[in-house]
Amino acid sequence: MDYEKDGAEIYRQSFATIRAEADLAAFDPVTAQVVVRMIHACGMVDLAGDVVATPQAVPRARAALRAGAPVLCDAQMVASGITRARLPRDNDVVCTLSDPRVPDLARRLGTTRTAAAVELWGERLDGAVVAIGNAPTALFHLLDHLRTVPWRPAAVLGIPVGFIGAAESKQALVDNDLGLEHVVVRGRRGGSAIVAAAVNATASEVE
Amino acid sequence: MDYEKDGAEIYRQSFATIRAEADLAAFDPVTAQVVVRMIHACGMVDLAGDVVATPQAVPRARAALRAGAPVLCDAQMVASGITRARLPRDNDVVCTLSDPRVPDLARRLGTTRTAAAVELWGERLDGAVVAIGNAPTALFHLLDHLRTVPWRPAAVLGIPVGFIGAAESKQALVDNDLGLEHVVVRGRRGGSAIVAAAVNATASEVE
């Protein structure tokens, strides 16, 4: 079969197609580059219309990574999608979901395991880049948790997916009064591939 | 904040919402259950309109898994999204992309690393469940490769995402004259989360 087999050329054509079709007028160039890669991960140029990003979210997250901050992920699939070679400081990519303490913690807190796993981030939260791509309960729990601890992440890429609580949890992040820098995709859409792409784009300016 | 924290209840409400909103009339009940979980992974009920599945694709893939067949994945993120506890026989989940032979093989074949990695599946292809969620070139290469080897997968879940070759590679799978059972999402949409969800739904009837 006849098809493009040059990986670099596929990337080039993909990003050119996205920039030709997507309406990126709402974003500054630094944030737009992240939105382009989020679109690349899901195949939908109209995603741009649902992205909300505070102007400093990408710059702060990028600076944090350059300073060696970890990436805290709600799901192993998010961690798996982060391209280690793009990380500037061989940064830690942390997912605490499979920690043996999580099931018991979830029972005691009366919540999901993904939400309980957020508690185990501990002081690593301070200055970190948070990447939530699966569970609305993780994002809701993070917003509650941050009222009880002194640590603040550099930015929250809050892009859980789904039908129950996803839209609401992302709106709660947008409306937060904690001063959290954030990138979200409003509504039901989201997921591990989109948030991993946002981390990858933030980690390196190489398109 | 007030939100649903019971994981089982979140699943129940999610699947009820999907079944209320999605048009699943084109699918038999066995395939519909897989489509529901694919929708759950991406948050879009209209995905159903782009899903094409041969009637025997899910039954054959399910039987293969129950017989111990491996799942062959094009990307680590796909492998990472497969819930091991749902697999009936502790089936192998294989991703050859990080095999040290891949970069040289890709150079010699003049193609992407993801496509070259397909060559390393070898005879494990025979009777396997193939799950492609990232690279159109992997799906194109598989279709070419199957003309040169005697092995046939039980089914191909061919759901790469993107702007260059994704729609075309999935159409080529739909149009295949090799008798391949398949599940695809037509067009640009797809990705590791959707194909992993398809594997998870195929692996177990538990919703």
pLDDT value of position A74: 98
Q: Which residues of B touch A7 (CB under 8 A)?
A: 112-113, 137
Contacts with A, B 89-118, CB within 8 Å: 110-113, 115
The number of distinct structural domains making up chain B is: 1
Note whether residue A157 is domain-resident.
Answer: yes
Q: Is A176 on the interface with B (CB under 8 A)?
A: no
Distance from CA of A132 to the nearest CA of B (A): 14
pLDDT value of position A167: 98
Note whether residue B2 is domain-resident.
Answer: no
CB contact under 8 A, A168 and B143: no
Contacts with A, B 141-160, CB within 8 Å: 143-144
CB contact under 8 A, A17 and B144: no
Give chain B's count of helices (H) and strands (E): 9, 6
Note whether residue B153 is domain-resident.
Answer: yes
Q: Which residues of A touch B111 (CB under 8 A)?
A: 5
Q: Is B88 on the interface with A (CB under 8 A)?
A: no
Note whether residue B1 is domain-resident.
Answer: no
Quick check: B22 and B51 in contact, CB under 8 A? no
pLDDT value of position B109: 96
Distance from CA of B43 to the nearest CA of A (A): 5
Q: Is B165 on the interface with A (CB under 8 A)?
A: yes
Mean pLDDT of B194-198: 98
Report residue A117 as tokens: 């796993």
Residue B207 has pLDDT above 90, yes or no: no
Phi, psi (rounded to 5 degrees) for B190: 160, -155
Here the CATH number for the domain that contains residue A137 is: 3.40.50.10230
pLDDT digits (tens, 9 = 90+) for B166-189: 999 999 999 999 999 999 999 999
pLDDT value of position B18: 98
Question: Which ipTM value was assigned to this complex?
Answer: 0.97
Note whether residue B92 is domain-resident.
Answer: yes
Q: Is B200 on the interface with A (CB under 8 A)?
A: no
Distance from CA of A145 to the nearest CA of B (A): 11
Of residues A90, A71, A89, the one with CA closest to residue A81: A71
Percent of residues, chain B, with pLDDT higher than 90: 99
Residue B95 has pLDDT above 90, yes or no: yes
Indicate if A40 belongs to the active site: yes
Domain of residue A78, residue span = 7-203
Strand spans (E) along chain A? 51-53, 71-73, 93-95, 129-132, 155-158, 182-185
Note whether residue A2 is domain-resident.
Answer: no
**Residue of A81, A165, A191 lying closest to B42 (CB–CB):** A191
Q: Is A13 on the interface with B (CB under 8 A)?
A: yes
Note whether residue A1 is domain-resident.
Answer: no
Strand spans (E) along chain B? 51-53, 71-73, 93-95, 129-132, 155-158, 182-185
Query: If pLDDT is split at 50, 70 and 90, which confidence band does B1 have?
Result: confident
Query: If pLDDT is split at 50, 70 and 90, which confidence band does B118 have?
Result: very high
Quick check: A124 and A70 in contact, CB under 8 A? yes
Average pLDDT, chain B: 97
Q: Is B136 on the interface with A (CB under 8 A)?
A: yes
Mean pLDDT for back-to-back runs of 10 residues, chain A (207 residues): 93 97 98 98 98 98 98 98 98 98 97 97 98 98 97 98 98 98 98 98 93
Quick check: A183 and A133 in contact, CB under 8 A? no
Distance from CA of B64 to the nearest CA of A (A): 25
